[in-house]
Chain A
């Protein structure tokens, strides 16, 4: 039997399964209880699991993350929601300096999951549209995952909760209700922290994650070429083997980021290819990302800033002709 789930419901399903499976799993966040979360990911959870395990918190991200680190060290499995991923900046110190370094300093595991609703495309403006993954890729000790599909959304939230490390779980707001898929009923299995080949091809590899995977798929559907798409799924650890193998097959690569261009996740991917895939390249390593500006509120301006289908098609054509 299978059920159609949205990306958002997949995250809910994964959370529900892990809460039922493991008493140590509990949720914290702003308005996640009675309101069910700003996006309704935890809708009904307070009724089902009680307010001890679905805890509303003050608007204080440093407090949420700090309390979660303490709970994790004490043996619980906290899952925290930042109402918008942008707000994680307030919890930065607890995350980067406390959670990420705990194991290295004291040998203590911090099995903490931090859900960040990220990304733009719906006129959220500069405080509600960011993609902050690169901040955390640069901080040792944190894992960073970014599902693009319904299946991976539910599988990766399960992986994140069971992981002994602090995991940043990037859920793309623009995929919440737009992406739907039939998934099997029954147990949700953890998704391995590896890249996924969306489609095989021999002319060009497009590397993306999160919402950009769908942008790539739409663009490729309109191009008359045999293009491979690699969905990274996890940024830390980065599946270097899959990246290099794909580029070795096609010889050409386009790396997509919805995040700002400089030092984005895709910059790390491009650097890896230049460093270790040089002799397999049959063209320049091309990147497409948002320019280094805050994401505008204005709908036409936002569409201009975010890498869209046409920009991807144009960049892909340039590489195919190269």
Chain B
């Protein structure tokens, strides 16, 4: 090849994904041999026990070699592929070269990969340019765009039944129901990330189509669990086998939270989280880790926040020194972490070192749950859905009446090896007092 003399090869290496990870598996190559690559552009995706990350290109150039195939696991630092970098300006002849360089044995999985890639490109393209200047293209409404983004759909492949063949929300729902691979509902967002949507407590109940559509794909065929699911499974079984898990529940009047929430323009989660942090500083034995017979109590609160990745799984990024953040700061950080987690922008160190965990699946409408402790932590607090309930309300003069209040259950799972029920109850009542008097 004429250009090889002006080119040098740079290795793409398996990135270090934090201190506790020594190897990783290539799950996808995003580029094929011969594809031009920008510096820091995503070339492949890597999965480890703890996290999925994207592998950025170390330099701009053309992908010349793929050394580790999809599915293979190698140590950190191993070369995954090589990028040909032009010493001088050789950009002009790259496209021609790319065709020429495409080897017959491009790679076994390239067929599937190309399909996946073009699918995602299609979706992005149609979302970026929903309307034409001349108005010929039917436009995309906010809810349809959001659903398409969420499920990574190519709207041009969905038949529209709206005016001018616009793709309506119902068309998307029907499409999702029809394709068994896709979850069939527009899932309400986790509390932590509202993205200008209505707040989760106001989100509609999940629509009934979900049940049918979440059936396993490829009807009846057993399929290997994803690495993330396997990893979650191991951690959860390990926790249940190790910790003496108990769950204590209090009922909390969320009226003050609702008020504070709307005043500050945040969701309920950061408001409650700030009170959890304050209360943890008072109840150190819950802001702790237990390793065998060694217990470590922390002054600072490193708060784990459970983030749902949909059917893919669940991750728990950590807000370090959460006690230093205001409610608004917590809100911003939670949103940032949740988004980064979903975009796979977090590394294993972002998931390590929590001293306590908060989970809030309340947006999905559940009333009570018994969360599993994220070892080696001692406690995990589950903030459930806020519902309007009749409760006995005492006035200052001692009169009692039945009132309608926004109520939620706080479910604390704790490790009986570290603390006792009275301590858990005291923590929860102290938390409740704080939450009700914001």
Same complex: yes
Cross-interface CB contact of A279 among B162, B168, B195, B204, cutoff 8 Å: B195
Which residues of B, 396-420, contact A by the 8 Å Cβ criterion? 404
Q: Which residues of A contact B168 (CB under 8 A)?
A: 251, 282, 322
Which residues of A, 267-291, contact B by the 8 Å Cβ criterion? 276-283
**Bound complex: CA A241 to CA B142 (Å):** 19
The answer to whether A279 and B142 touch (CB under 8 A), given A192-B404, A321-B163, A322-B166, is: yes
How many chain B residues touch A (CB < 8 A): the figure is 22
Given contacts A278-B142, A279-B195, A322-B163, 8 further A-B contacts (CB under 8 A): A194-B388, A240-B202, A244-B202, A246-B204, A248-B197, A249-B204, A280-B197, A280-B198
Measured CB to CB, the nearest residue on chain B to A203 is B170
Which residues of A, 221-254, contact B by the 8 Å Cβ criterion? 240-241, 244-246, 248-249, 251
Whether, in the assembled complex, B177 has its beta carbon less than 8 Å from a beta carbon of chain A, the answer is no
**Bound complex: CA A251 to CA B142 (Å):** 9
Which residues of B, 187-206, contact A by the 8 Å Cβ criterion? 195-198, 201-204
Whether, in the assembled complex, B31 has its beta carbon less than 8 Å from a beta carbon of chain A, the answer is no
Q: Report which residue of A194, A241, A321 has the largest number of chain B beta carbons within 10 angstroms of its beta carbon.
A: A241
Footprint of B on A, CB under 8 Å? 192, 194, 203, 240-241, 244-246, 248-249, 251, 276-283, 321-322
Cross-interface CB contact of A282 among B144, B197, B204, B388, cutoff 8 Å: B144
Q: Verify B202–A251 contact, CB threshold 8 A.
A: no
Whether, in the assembled complex, B143 has its beta carbon less than 8 Å from a beta carbon of chain A, the answer is yes
Q: Verify A245–B404 contact, CB threshold 8 A.
A: no
Q: Which residues of B contact A246 (CB under 8 A)?
A: 204
Q: Which residues of B contact A240 (CB under 8 A)?
A: 202
Q: Which residues of B contact A321 (CB under 8 A)?
A: 162-163
Whether, in the assembled complex, B146 has its beta carbon less than 8 Å from a beta carbon of chain A, the answer is yes
The answer to whether A279 and B163 touch (CB under 8 A), given A244-B198, A245-B204, is: no
Footprint of A on B, CB under 8 Å? 141-144, 146, 162-163, 166, 168-170, 195-198, 201-204, 207, 388, 404
Q: Verify B204–A281 contact, CB threshold 8 A.
A: no
* A-B residue pairs in contact (CB < 8 Å), sample of 30: A192-B404, A194-B388, A241-B201, A244-B198, A244-B202, A245-B198, A245-B202, A245-B203, A245-B204, A248-B197, A248-B198, A249-B204, A249-B207, A251-B141, A251-B143, A251-B169, A277-B198, A278-B142, A279-B146, A279-B197, A280-B142, A280-B143, A281-B141, A281-B142, A281-B143, A282-B168, A283-B141, A321-B162, A322-B166, A322-B168
Measured CB to CB, the nearest residue on chain B to A247 is B198
Q: Report which residue of A203, A240, A277, A280 has the largest number of chain B beta carbons within 10 angstroms of its beta carbon.
A: A280
**Bound complex: CA A246 to CA B198 (Å):** 11
Q: Which residues of B contact A244 (CB under 8 A)?
A: 198, 202
CB of A285 to closest CB in B, whole Å: 11
Measured CB to CB, the nearest residue on chain A to B403 is A192
CB of B209 to closest CB in A, whole Å: 11
Q: Which residues of A contact B142 (CB under 8 A)?
A: 278-282
Measured CB to CB, the nearest residue on chain B to A252 is B169
**Bound complex: CA A276 to CA B267 (Å):** 13
Q: Report which residue of A203, A244, A279, A283 has the largest number of chain B beta carbons within 10 angstroms of its beta carbon.
A: A279
**Bound complex: CA A322 to CA B163 (Å):** 5
**Bound complex: CA A290 to CA B226 (Å):** 59
Measured CB to CB, the nearest residue on chain A to B141 is A282
